[in-house]
Amino acid sequence: MTDNIFRFPAKSEWLTLLQRPALERKDLRNLVQDIFTEVKLNGDSAVKSFSEKFDNVSIDEFLVSNQEIEKASDEVPEDLKNAIQLAKENIFKFHKSQHQEINKIETQPGISCWRESRAIENVGLYIPGGTAPLFSTILMLAIPAKIAGCKNIILCTPPQKDGSVNPAILFTANLCGIEKIYKVGGSQAIAAMTFGTESISKVDKIFGPGNQYVTAAKVLAQDFGVAIDMPAGPSEVLVIADSSAIAEFCAADLLSQAEHGIDSQVIFIATDETVFNKTLKEIEVQLEQLPRNEIARKAVENSRFILLNSVEDAIKLSNLYAPEHLILSIQNPENYTEKITNAGSVFLGNYSPEAAGDYATGTNHTLPTNGFARNYSGVSLDSFVKRITFQNLTQKGLQNIGKSVELMAEAEGLFAHKNAVSLRLKSF
């Protein structure tokens, strides 16, 4: 791990040492394009045969039945149900508060302009299967979709080898009011939601994480008029610690990101040498006790441990990196929030671990990775609506700007634009 330790690096080195590990991305575009062509042409039967081919499972009825949902609900332990319910309430509260009131502006006498939000009508949520059933992501996507008022919310998730879906996924989807859950995974699920099939309806926007195939399919879906939540990449956290930080907590926070996958990246910046050294040691101790320690160890090897002189410098470096998650284990963290310019979600103080926000503080955990915090927001209520602009002009309003519009239209060579105004002005 010593390769990854940098004590007081010069600013000229910052950019280099913050380079993310290059993603070994195969170019899956052609493969995924073939799957899209096939699903567009043959619908359900193509989806079925891809599921057999890639997931080794034969599904005759994609739609999860009511009986399956009831059975799942019986299988989820009561305390987990209560935990999910509590998370749901917090996520609901925070996302509900993101609703925007209409704000009419009179830009000139007689000219009124405003925006109104409308739900995106048809949305598709993708929830990966595999070892960790990400039922928490259902909360993060379905709750704002419901608040927005999306009419048709469908969910696709790959079935397990026996053709069933993890009960916690079914329980959570049902709790959030999703009526259509399909046992379909991979790029064929994204293709089905892009074109629609006999059983799966076409959507306007696709949300949710996935492997390289799912990610490539989401990118391709955009070519067919479907919007997506955001580009995907490996999860990451940056922790800034001063002398008030608790090494044990810092190590635990770093490892909770590292366990996501071997390509996860964690960055630790300390301004106090004692905390720095203690955290490095504590990581070794805690790694030993983790069931997923092989994954976490590899991710730690991809990571950076940096000692700097000041919290100001640490935040500058963090802004350069643009982390998905940023933890401020420092004194008076609220004094520094203004300086943070690039980050997905920020956790303040010693008692705000990332894990809390991953599940239950109320904030969304679908966040921009891979430096996309420079130019993208995480998922929020905004992601499920579009804003329509409205304008209402009285005769007086049109008179106030009419001459200007005529001049500008003429200067742009657009005479019919000019005429649309001239005819009206003449009629007054």
Give how far Cα 404 sits from Cα of 284, 292, 409, 411, 412, Å: 69, 66, 9, 11, 12
* Measured torsion, CA atoms of residues 24, 321, 291, 356, in degrees rounded to the nearest 10: -130
Positions at the binding site: 126, 188, 211, 235, 257, 260, 325, 358, 412, 417
Q: Nearest distance from residue 92's CB to a copy of itself, in Å?
A: 9
Q: Which stretch binds a copy of itself (CB under 8 A): 47-55, 56-64, 220-228, 301-309?
A: 220-228
CA 173 to chain centre: 18
**324 in catalytic set:** yes
* Helical ranges in 246-292 per DSSP H: 247-258, 273-289
Residue type at position 342: N
Residues in region 143-172 near a copy of itself by CB under 8 A: 168
Binding pattern for the stretch 375-404 against a copy of itself, x by CB under 8 A and - elsewhere: xxxx-x-x--xxxxxxxxxxx-xx--xxxx
How many Å apart are CA 253 and CA 262, to the nearest integer?
Answer: 16
Say whether residue 5 binds a copy of itself (CB under 8 A).
no
Q: Which one of the spans 6-14, 32-40, 54-62, 418-426 is the region binding a copy of itself (CB under 8 A)? A: 418-426
- Contact flag: residue 37 with a copy of itself (CB under 8 A): no
Q: Are 233 and 264 in contact (CB under 8 A)?
A: no
Q: Which CB atom, from 68 or from 253, has the smaller least distance to a copy of itself?
A: 253
Distance of closest approach, residue 381 Cβ to a copy of itself, in angstroms: 10
Catalytic, out of 236, 282, 325, 365 = 325
CA 395, distance to chain mean position in Å, is 46
Candidates 100, 243, 310, 332; binder of a copy of itself (CB under 8 A) is 100
Give the nearest distance from C-beta 307 to a copy of itself in angstroms. 22
Q: Which of 69, 227, 302, 331 binds a copy of itself (CB under 8 A)?
A: 227
Distance (Å, whole) CA 63 – CA 156: 9
- Contact flag: residue 236 with a copy of itself (CB under 8 A): no
Instruction: Tell me the C-alpha distance between 269 and 306, whole Å.
Output: 5
**SS3 call for 67:** helix
Q: How far is the CB of 48 from a copy of itself (least distance, A)?
A: 27
Output the smallest distance, CB 197 to a copy of itself, in A: 18
Nearer to a copy of itself, 60 or 288 (CB): 288
Q: Of 134, 156, 221, 241, which one interacts with a copy of itself (CB under 8 A)?
A: 134
Out of 4, 49, 73, 98, the residue judged to bind a copy of itself by CB under 8 A? 98
Segment 254 to 313, residues that bind a copy of itself, using CB under 8 A: 255-256, 258-260, 286, 289-292, 296
Q: Tell me the binding residues for Zn(2+).
A: 257, 260, 358, 417
Cβ contacts of 118 within 8 Å, gap of 6 or more: 385, 386, 387, 388
Catalytic, out of 324, 354, 365, 406: 324
Residue 325: active-site member: yes
Burial of 293 (0-12, 13-18, 19+ CB in 10 A): middle
The rounded distance, in Å, linking the Cα atoms of 204 and 76 is 32
Give me the phi and psi of 207, to 5 degrees please. Answer: -120, 155
Q: Residue 338: phi, psi to the nearest 5?
A: -60, -30
Q: Would you count residue 231 as binding a copy of itself (CB under 8 A)?
A: yes
Positions at the binding site for NAD(+): 126, 188, 211
Alpha-carbon distance of 290 to 255, in angstroms, equals 9
* 310-369 binders of a copy of itself (CB under 8 A): 333-334, 337, 340-364, 367-368
The dihedral built from the CA positions of residue 337, 338, 344 and 345, taken in this order, carries a sign that is: positive
Catalytic residues: 324-325
